[in-house]
Structure formats: C-alpha cells, structure tokens
Amino acid sequence: MTFNIQEIMNFLPHRYPFLLIDRIIEFEPTKRLVAIKNVTINEPFFQGHFPGYPIMPGVLVVEAMAQAGGMIMMAEIPDRDKKLVVFTGIERAKFRRPVTPGDQLRIEVEVLSMKIRAGRIEGKAYVDGKLACQATLTCQVVPRVREPHPATEAPAENAPAPEAATPVEKPQ
C-alpha cells in the first residue's frame, strides 16, 4: 500500500513548513511503514542552519520519523478527524551523518508496541542506503480539541462576582 502527499494530508494534520514526509512507499498496517522525504535547499530551516553549510536539523529528522509513526497510529483510529497523535518521548537517538539539500531521506519505522492510546516505534532514516539517524520514539493519542485550562475557564453563571479591589491610598 502506498500514499501520495494528498493522502498523507488526510491522515496527518501537519502542513507546510512542518509536514516532513512526502510519500509513503510501503505500509503494513500496525507493523511498519517506509516514507520518503525529499530534502531541498528551499526548506526554510536552511536559511539559518547553517549559512554556507546547510544541514537539516537532527530534531527535524526525528520529527519526520515521528510523523511516519503517526501515520501508522492514525490509520487505526476510526475517528481520526477528532484525534491527534503527539510525540511523547525519544530514546537512544543517534545521528550518524548529516542530511543536506539534494538528499532523499528513506524513513523506516517499525512498531514495537501499539495500544489504543499509545505507541512505541523504532525509527531509522537513511540517505543513499547509509544510516543517517535512528531513535526509539513514543507517542500518545489525544483529542484534537484541547480541554480549556482551569485558570482560563469562564466562571459559572451562578458563581459570585469577584470582589472589587480596594483602592490603596497614597501617603501624602
């Protein structure tokens, strides 16, 4: 099973400049996925990372792996338009070689465990068949609409009005 960018956007809420996978070339539901990220000089992060020596930030390579893992989770969620898969942990991340403009990342993720609300994957990113990055990632399924924070909730209709502040007199 493969997915083009339009199909990926039906599963993931990420959009430019933060959607970091371009195509899925292999997909075994609940087991593994292989995605492609084409790295171009037009990426906004290359303006500052680093001028004259462009390198894709390692955290974005890890994020691309997390998005690929998110695709596996989202494919199993029936009401995915009401849910998000959020990245909750990174273990044993290793960066083996730089990723530069013109590279094509081959992102391979394998499910280590997957439950209704959480998952754990092993991610690897390759450039030209050579390992560029690897990490174990965890994620959690959360509601897409955030619950209001208690400090910002409106007072209940019958709640007493807060007392007015008493003015302080200045000494003369």
Q: Which residues are catalytic?
A: 49
DSSP the chain: --B-HHHHHHH----TTS----EEEEEETTTEEEEEEE--TTSGGGGTS-TTS----HHHHHHHHHHHHHHHHHHT-TTGGGEEEEEEEEEEEEE-S---TT-EEEEEEEEEEE-SSEEEEEEEEEETTEEEEEEEEEEEEEESSPPPPGGGSPPPTTSPPPPPPPPPPPP-
